[in-house]
């Protein structure tokens, strides 16, 4: 029997919730509640309750969530926003889209997360906000980042696109800044069946502003207070997300078991998954290992692919070195070194012990010289 291991397996998950999804979608179709409406409102309410935050504003993607949140906290053209380069491009894109300037800081070598010391030295009189990214599903050091923000009067917008239900010191990601942005892209831990996103906040005024801005800056049906966007969430996505949210705790525990199993198999090779700081419970959106010096990553990925194993790299080109941004090579040494050495192994709630064992066996065969 040959085992194959896809990088994610959305079909396996769909098979477990097919009937619930069909009923939820049928309800939206029967009600023709296609844009926003009761199914989106229902999801917003339950997601806010699960996180323990007052407000959730559903929107069209994680990227539009970042745009809405940054705009609402007052980021204006020319403002500086401190963030990391070791993230998906959308984090920087949302800042640039507002005419603001992303100021990239390095990550910590152990956690791969925003380095608070680097943030402290990047603050200038033009800094307006900080965007920590809970990359791989691991919470950033929000106490340290929050203290810097408080000292300088800066806003904090979490990029929680990969970190639904992650906690630090028992506090939930999505409640640790002025606002937090979630993506429900299909492959995320909580994924819609299309594009969708949300912003959470404890601040009622921010929530009101974002609800207006996601819907053409509307105050009433044909009265526009501001020039906004069309960043609304579809009714179908709201209904699907409400179904999937009921399963998210179980799926998160399954990811934690998979990550622990990888570490058991690979710890002796020095290939443990990257973890956030003490007291934090990550949600393992990605299972990233750092390859030893001198390993040809492309050749390793090809060898794994030959065994039916799909892998990824998150991310091979840091934001500041993207052609669209064209920053200075050498300016972020940790980020740039990691980009060449990281490898993401398959992880999803439905991955089996046999699949994980197969990945680990293939990795060991490729990395450890075989006795003649
Ligand atoms: C996925 C992702 C986004 C963008 O979300 P979309 O829903 O694809 O627009 C932003 N930031 C990070 C860290 C992400 O992983």
- Inter-CA distances, 9 with 22, 25, 258, Å: 19, 21, 14
The CB of 95 under 6 Å from ligand 1? The reply is no
- Indicate whether residue 47 lines ligand 1 (CB < 6 A): no
Asked if residue 344 has its Cβ within 6 Å of ligand 1, the reply is no
Q: C-alpha dihedral over 9, 11, 13, 19, to 10 degrees?
A: 170
The pLDDT value recorded for residue 88 is 98
Report the distance separating Cα 141 and Cα 231, nearest Å.
30
How is residue 304 written in tokens? Answer: 């794994």
Q: What is the predicted pLDDT for the residue at 1?
A: 61
Angle, helix 353-367 to helix 297-306, in steps of 10 degrees: 130
Three-class DSSP category at 218:
strand
63 CA from centroid of ligand 1 (Å): 6
Residue located nearest, by CA, to atom 14 of ligand 1: 161
**pLDDT at residue 258, rounded to an integer:** 98
pLDDT for 2 equals: 84
Which distant-in-sequence residues (6+ apart) come within 8 Å of 183 by Cβ? 61, 62, 63, 65, 161, 162, 196, 197
d(C-alpha 183, C-alpha 65), whole Å = 8
Rg of the chain in Å (alpha carbons): 21
Q: Is any atom of ligand 1 closer than 6 Å to the C-beta of 189?
A: no
Question: Could you tell me which of 234, 231, 235 has the C-alpha nearest to residue 213?
Answer: 231
Q: How far is CA 126 from its chain centroid?
A: 27
Answer yes or no: is the C-beta of 61 below 6 A from any ligand 1 atom.
yes
Distance CA 208, CA 40 (A): 16
Q: Are 6 and 350 in contact (CB under 8 A)?
A: no
pLDDT reported for residue 369: 73
Q: How many helices (H) and strands (E) does the chain have?
A: 12, 14
**How do the pLDDT tens digits run along the chain, 372 residues long?**
689 999 999 999 999 999 999 999 999 999 999 999 999 999 999 999 999 999 999 999 999 999 999 999 999 999 999 999 999 999 999 999 999 999 999 999 999 999 999 999 999 999 999 999 999 999 999 999 999 999 999 999 999 999 999 999 999 999 999 999 999 999 999 999 999 999 999 999 999 999 999 999 998 889 999 999 999 999 999 999 999 999 999 999 999 999 999 999 999 999 999 999 999 999 999 999 999 999 999 999 999 999 999 999 999 999 999 999 988 999 999 999 999 999 999 999 999 999 999 999 999 999 987 766
Instruction: Name the strand (E) or helix (H) holding 231.
Output: none
The 3-state DSSP class for residue 320 equals helix
Neighbours of 246 (CB within 10 A): 12
What is the pLDDT, as a whole number, of residue 368? 86
């Amino acid at each position: 029997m040959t085992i194959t291991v896809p990088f994610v397996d959305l079909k396996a998950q769909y098979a477990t919730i097919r009937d619930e999804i069909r009923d939820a979608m049928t309800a939206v179709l029967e009600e023709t509640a296609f844009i926003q409406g009761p199914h989106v409102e229902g999801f917003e309410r339950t997601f806010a309750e699960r996180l323990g935050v007052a407000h959730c504003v559903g929107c069209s993607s994680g990227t539009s969530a970042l745009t809405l949140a940054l705009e609402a906290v007052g980021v204006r053209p020319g403002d500086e926003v401190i963030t990391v380069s070791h993230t998906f491009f959308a984090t920087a894109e949302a800042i640039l889209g507002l005419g603001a300037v992303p100021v990239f800081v390095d990550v910590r070598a152990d956690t791969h997360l925003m380095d608070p010391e680097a943030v402290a030295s990047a603050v200038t009189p033009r800094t307006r906000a900080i965007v920590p990214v809970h990359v791989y599903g691991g919470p950033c050091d929000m106490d340290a980042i929050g203290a810097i923000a408080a000292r300088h009067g800066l806003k904090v917008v979490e990029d929680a696109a990969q970190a639904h239900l992650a906690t630090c010191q028992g506090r939930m990601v999505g409640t640790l800044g002025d606002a937090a942005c979630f993506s429900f892209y299909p492959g995320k831990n909580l994924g819609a069946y299309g594009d969708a996103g949300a912003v959470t906040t404890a601040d009622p005024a921010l929530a009101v502003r974002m609800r207006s801005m996601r819907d053409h800056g509307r105050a009433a049906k044909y009265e526009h207070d501001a020039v906004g966007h069309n960043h609304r969430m579809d009714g179908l996505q709201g209904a699907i997300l409400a179904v999937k949210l009921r399963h998210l705790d179980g799926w998160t525990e399954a990811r934690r078991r998979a990550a622990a199993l990888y570490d058991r198999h690979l710890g002796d090779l020095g290939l443990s998954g990257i973890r956030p700081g003490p007291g934090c419970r990550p949600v393992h959106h990605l299972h990233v290992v750092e390859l030893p010096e001198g390993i040809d990553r492309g050749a390793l990925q090809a060898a794994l692919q030959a065994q039916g194993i799909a892998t990824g790299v998150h991310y091979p080109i840091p934001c500041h070195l993207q052609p669209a941004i064209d920053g200075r090579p050498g300016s972020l040494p940790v980020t740039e070194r990691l980009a060449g050495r990281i490898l993401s192994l398959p992880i999803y709630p439905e991955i089996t012990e046999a699949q994980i064992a197969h990945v680990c066996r293939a990795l060991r065969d490729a990395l450890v010289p075989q006795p003649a």
